Amino acid sequence: MSPTRRWIMLASSLVAAMTTTCATAGVAYVIPVLHSDHGMPLSKAATLAAIPTIGLTLTIIAWGAALDRFGERRVLLISLGITAAGTVAAMIVAETGAGFASLAIPLLISGLGSGAANGASGRIVVGWFPPHQRGTAMGVRQMAQPLAIGVCALTMPVFAERLGLATAFAVPVVVTVIGVIAVAVAVVDPPLPPASAAVSAANPYRRRSFLQRVHAVSVLLVIPQSLMWTFVPAWLIVGHHWSALSAGVLVTVTQVAGALGRILVGRISDVVGSRMRPIRVIAATAAVLTGGLALADWLDSPVAAGVMVLASISTVADNGLAFTAIAEFAGPSWSGRSLGVQNTAQYVTTAATTPLIGRLIESAGYPAAFAIAALGPLIALPLVPRDAGAPGTDASDPSDA
């Protein structure tokens, strides 16, 4: 496999993963229109936004097991096909002007189908890239989430406001179709190394608590991340009276910066030979900046939007490092399932906290929500484990302290 082919494959995997984010997070970007034009309460709109995530959560471990068993190419094509069906149906239902329940069904279907794309790439990164490039490669792959958020933020609020909900829901459809083409053209499953097959077949969760602690840390760090993704557009448009276009541009710029930040921290982890030490720094930074955003918004400070940008960048920086560490530790026979567990834990947290945060904002305001979210990374700090060993190797140190 030539270096050029590796990176083309990784780029195709990135595009495929963008479909998951568009299918599950895109609804958040029509919340302002649902709230202001259709009279939907913020808590109910937030519940609707969480429905695709619920579907994703229900199937993501099963998709991970399928990835481990059958490889990424075939499973991704099936997964993306289901996602495409759900997103097309959501667009059609939105065009007919049907109610909450009717729109919830296709959104659930798109979420059910999107799990493989979100959990894929662990085997591609570990199988096709050498250890000293894996942090960088996974950082590139993890650009999918912020880039997809940027695409949705730049298009869906404006489309919903000016052209209607159906046009806004066309955005996930287009991204999913592009993802199907990218996978069909470029993705090749890496071979399972014979020497590692017997070792990697053993359940990595029984060796030590490394994976469990990484999952726990990621769950706590996803709380402010999901808050930023879901409610910042409404915070800007409804709370601070920004136009949909200006809010979309700011969110898009923020997400692009967050995507580049994932590559940077991935490269740093390759250079310093550690995935966990950078995560500690990220957790501390996210706690400070999210807490600072709560204070700035409470004071109605003009710098609140700038603090939001920095806080958003910090809250997405850890994902690639956690994914890389999990894939390396779990091995090629368990990476799909382990990343499925990782994503399930994060999406369960997102699905559970999104409606609660919506109610908190309605009752106490955005500053209180930002302050509560800042506690997540603060609690995560002491839970970050030691590295499992040198990047690309299995752990031999029995201590997690």
The pair of three-digit structure tokens given for residue 241, joined into one six-digit string: 């009276």
Which pLDDT belongs to residue 287? 94
Look at the block and give the residue holding tokens 């094509």: 77
pLDDT tens over the chain, length 401 residues: 788 888 888 888 889 889 988 988 888 888 878 777 766 777 777 788 888 888 888 888 888 888 877 878 888 999 999 999 999 998 998 888 766 678 889 999 999 998 887 766 767 777 788 888 888 888 888 788 778 888 888 899 889 888 888 899 999 999 999 999 999 988 888 776 554 454 446 788 887 889 999 999 999 999 998 888 778 888 888 778 888 788 878 888 887 888 888 889 888 988 888 889 999 999 999 999 999 999 999 988 889 889 999 999 998 888 888 888 888 888 777 877 888 888 888 878 887 888 888 888 888 889 999 999 999 999 999 999 988 754 444 433 333 43
Distance of CA 280 to the CA centre of its chain: 19
Which pLDDT belongs to residue 392? 41
Which pLDDT belongs to residue 288? 95
Which pLDDT belongs to residue 372? 93
How many residues are present in the chain?
401
The pair of three-digit structure tokens given for residue 153, joined into one six-digit string: 């933020």
Q: Which of 379, 56, 344, 326 is nearest to 205 (CA)?
A: 326
Going by the DSSP 8-state scheme, the letter that residue 207 receives in this structure is T
The pair of three-digit structure tokens given for residue 319, joined into one six-digit string: 């994902």
Helices assigned H by DSSP within 37-99: 42-70, 72-96
| Spatial distance between the Cα atoms of 389 and 66, rounded to a whole number of angstroms | 28
Look at the block and give the residue holding tokens 């199907």: 180
Which pLDDT belongs to residue 195? 45
Torsion angle (degrees, nearest 10) of CA 311, 142, 123, 13: 160
Q: Could you give all domains of the chain from N- to C-terminal order, each with its CATH number?
A: 3-190+204-383 (1.20.1250.20)
| Spatial distance between the Cα atoms of 391 and 320, rounded to a whole number of angstroms | 13
Q: What is the number of alpha carbons within 13 Å of residue 316 lying toward its C-beta?
A: 32
Q: Cα 177–183–189 angle (5° rounding)?
A: 160
Q: Cα 342–344–247 angle (5° rounding)?
A: 95
The pair of three-digit structure tokens given for residue 381, joined into one six-digit string: 């700090």
Mutual angle of helices 42-70 and 335-364, in 10-degree steps? 180
The pair of three-digit structure tokens given for residue 51, joined into one six-digit string: 């429905």
Helix (H, G, I), strand (E, B) or coil at 274: coil
Single-letter code of the amino acid located at 79 = S
The pair of three-digit structure tokens given for residue 218, joined into one six-digit string: 């990621």
Q: DSSP states of 160-197 as a string?
A: HHHT-HHHHHHHHHHHHHHHHHHHHHH--PPPPPHHHH
Which pLDDT belongs to residue 188? 84
Mutual angle of helices 144-162 and 210-234, in 10-degree steps? 20
